[in-house]
A and B are shown apart, each in its own frame.
Chain A
């Protein structure tokens, strides 16, 4: 298995909702990442997990809460989002943090209404 799987593919949520994005990989990678991509922009790093521990938080607002329950799974919990948080959320993994060969998932297209 050489894929990073993200669910759901599309999500529409209200500003008072709580939802979660899920990312899974079975490549034995020990680093996992969340990126946010706005339209016509490059991906921007949000969080890095290394060996299930949060190693980088790029000053992301607390309404985004990451979780890494095990080495194969990465979640992003969403609460009280704003319309400007609408974007494509990409998950990626690599063998080790900072190790070459990032594999990206196909993303979750999030719309906040």
Chain B
């Protein structure tokens, strides 16, 4: 069975500072990995995904993530955050051939002006 861990429930960051949101996964088989963002009272928007190939994945809104198989991690980064990045961020995993997308518990990113 797969599981996804987001250790940081809340991350406060000053505007224009860099940020890293951590995600670790466990799976006995190969996985697809995703980061979703959820703004208040909205659905989930896909930020980026890792399927195969290059371990550095670039997404929308200036975010990127790096897949590290040895550390079973898929951390999300942005070099300079903006007030509009305030949102909930979910890491998710999908095993090959499995129909169930498993979410982490989410990280609330708060940008401090």
Please indicate whether A and B come from the same complex rather than being unrelated chains: yes
Shortest Cβ gap from A17 to chain B (Å): 23
Stretch with Cβ within 8 A of A (4 or more), from B45-53, B59-67, B77-85:
B45-53
7 A-B pairs with CB atoms under 8 Å apart are A41-B106, A43-B44, A43-B103, A50-B99, A98-B97, A104-B46, A107-B43
Is the CB of B41 closer than 8 A to any CB of chain A? yes
Q: Report yes or no: A48 in contact with B32, Cβ–Cβ below 8 A.
A: no
Least CB distance from B29 to A in Å reads: 12
Q: Do B99 and A98 touch (CB < 8 A)?
A: yes
Q: Which residues of B contact A98 (CB under 8 A)?
A: 94-99
B69 at interface (Cβ–Cβ under 8 A)?
Answer: no
Residues on B with beta carbons closer than 8 Å to the beta carbon of A43: 44, 90, 103
**Is B105 part of the binding interface, using a Cβ–Cβ cutoff of 8 Å?**
yes
Residues on the B chain within 8 Å of A50, using CB: 99
A residues whose Cβ falls under 8 Å from a Cβ of B: 4, 6, 31, 33, 40-43, 45, 48, 50, 55-56, 90, 92, 97-98, 100-107, 109
| Given A42-B106, A43-B44, A109-B41: A102 touches B101 (CB 8 Å cut-off) | yes
Nearest 3 interchain pairs by C-beta:
A42-B103, A106-B43, A104-B44
Count of residues in B whose CB is under 8 Å from the partner chain: 24
CB contact between A56 and one of B43, B95, B97, B100 (< 8 Å): that residue: B100
Task: Tell whether, in the assembled complex, residue B106 and residue A100 are in contact, meaning their CB atoms are under 8 Å apart.
Answer: no
Task: Compute how far the CA of A107 lies from the CA of B98 in the bound complex, rounded to whole angstroms.
Answer: 24
Cα(A55)–Cα(B90), bound, Å: 25
Query: Out of A45, A101, A105, which one reaches B43, CB within 8 Å?
Result: A105
Complex alpha-carbon distance, A42 and B5, angstroms: 12
Residue of A nearest to B100 (CB): A45
Most chain-A Cβ atoms within 10 A of its Cβ — which of B32, B36, B43, B45? B43
- Interface contacts beyond A101-B46, A102-B46: sample of 14 additional A-B pairs, CB < 8 Å, sorted by A: A40-B106, A42-B90, A42-B104, A42-B106, A43-B103, A45-B101, A56-B100, A98-B97, A98-B99, A100-B32, A100-B51, A101-B49, A102-B34, A106-B43
